[in-house]
Amino acid sequence: MIYNKEIIHSSHPQHRLKFEYKEVPFRCDGCKEAGIGCRYKCELCDFDLHKCCAVPSQSISHPFYPKCNFQFFTRPPGNGLRYCNACGKDVLGFVYHCRLCGFDLHPCCYNLPHMLDDGDVKLYLHKKVSSACHRCGRKGPSWSYRSACKKYHLHVSCVKEMLADNWQDLYYSNGKRSLELYTRIPSLKGTLQNHHRSKRGKVRKCCEMAGLAVQFIISAVLGDPTAMIAGVIGSLMSK
C-alpha cells in the first residue's frame, strides 16, 4: 500500500496530518492505543494517528471470523464497555465492529500480520494459543503469535500489558518525549527469563530467538511491524 505524505482526517479537520516515522512511542488519538514507528501527525496539536487508523477501510472481513462483516466506527457503538476480541483490551476509540455478533477489533489488531518473518524466525498469528504463553503461563482467549518451531507462544494481550505497565513512564516521564522514554519499552526481561528457565537445555539459541520474536511482535502490536526497535530492545536485553 502506498501512503500519502499528507492527509486531512475527519477526526482532526482543522489541520493537515503529516506522515512521519520515528522510533518513539506515541498514543494514537484515534484508537487510543500505543504506537511506534509510522504515524500521521499534526505537529501543531500533538495529534497522532496510526497509519491503519488514519486510512481505515469502511468494511472488512477477517479470516478468524469468516462469518463476520466488520464496519469501521470512530467511537465504540452502543452503551457500555466494549473490548477487542483480538487482544482483550477495552475499546476506547476507533474500532471495527460486527453488528451481527457484536465482535470488536482494534484497527491495529485487525492489521496484525498473520506471519512475521525476519529470515531466520517465522511467527504465525493464531486465534488461540495451543500451549502456555511464555509471559503469563496461561492459554487464555487472546490471539497469540507462535514460532514456526511451535516452542514460543506469546499472547497479543500480554504484549499490550507489558507496554501498558510502562506506558505512564514512557509517555509522561519529564513531560517530554526523549530517548530515555523508549529505552524503557521493557518488561521484556521478565519474559525472557521465563523463557530461559523453561528451556534450560538450549539456552542461548532459544533466548536469542525469544528476544527476536518479542521485538517483532511488539512492533506489530504497536501498529508498525517494520519499525526498527530491535536495537532499543536488544540493548535492554543485554543488561
Interface residues with Zn ion (CB under 5 A) are: 15, 28, 30-31, 42, 44-45, 50, 53, 68, 84, 86-87, 98, 100-101, 103, 106, 109, 133, 135-136, 155, 158
Nearest approach in angstroms of CB 216 to Zn ion is 16
Residue closer to Zn ion (CB basis): 159 or 229:
159
Look up residue 113 and give its three cell numbers.
500480520
- Closest to Zn ion by CB, 155 or 195: 155
- Exposed / middle / buried, residue 179 (Cβ in 10 Å: 0-12, 13-18, 19+): exposed
**Residue closer to Zn ion, measured from CB, 27 or 184:** 27
What are 104's strand-pairing partners? 97
- CA angle centred on 186, ends 28 and 230, rounded to 5°: 80
Residue among 5 and 180 whose Cβ is closer to Zn ion: 5
Residue 149: CB minimum distance to Zn ion, A:
18
> Cβ 29 to Zn ion, closest distance in Å?
8
Tell me the closest approach of the beta carbon of residue 3 to Zn ion, in angstroms: 14
Q: How far apart are the first and last CA of the chain?
A: 38
**188-198 and 230-237 helices, crossing angle to 10°:** 60
Q: Collapsing DSSP states into helix, strand and coil, what is residue 38? A: strand
Residue 135's identity, in one-letter code, is R
Adjacent-strand bridge partners of 96: 72, 105
Helices (H), 111-238: 156-172, 179-182, 188-198, 203-221, 230-237
Order of all β-strands in the sheet with 6-7: 6-7, 17-27, 34-42, 47-49
CB of 119 to Zn ion, least distance (A): 26
Of the pair 116, 158, the CB lying nearest Zn ion is at 158
Q: Which is nearer to Zn ion, 135 or 181 (CB)?
A: 135
Q: Minimum distance from CB of 42 to Zn ion (Å)? A: 3
